[in-house]
Amino acid sequence: MFMKDTWKAIYASAQVVLTAAHQLLLTSAPAIYALCRPPGHHASDSVAAGYCYINNVAVAARFMQNYTLEDMNKIKKTYNGDNGVNRTENIDKSNGKKKVLIIDIDYHHGNGTQEIFYDDPTVFYISLHGHPDYPYFTGSAQET
């Protein structure tokens, strides 16, 4: 269901994970946790599902793979808060993909995250979830 402020919440949620990804590289922390709503792990690259409109962890993973810390700092500096536009045309995204580990701890299987990264050897996805339950038909041991 899409309400009046749904898009604002989705956008803010994505900004939380992008900020968390940036902060992870700025600090010596081995991991970072981003608590945001709406969640994202049921959204695939083409389908919104389970109250998930975009896959926040996928956004953060790709952001960390495609941008260096220097690039992220440039993006932060060039952000124009007046109209919400990021000007990133001077960012070189040619660096090799870094490996990312995603650990999803939720009663429901993150079917969207699995679908997005299933054939990607640069992302290792672990889902700790109850089975069988929503989204049903996914998250079984046979899918590993």
* Residues known to be catalytic: 42
Q: Omega before 39 cis (within 30°)?
A: no
CA-CA distance, 96 to 20, in Å (whole number)? 21
CA 17-20-26 angle, 5° bins: 150
Burial of 93 (0-12, 13-18, 19+ CB in 10 A): exposed
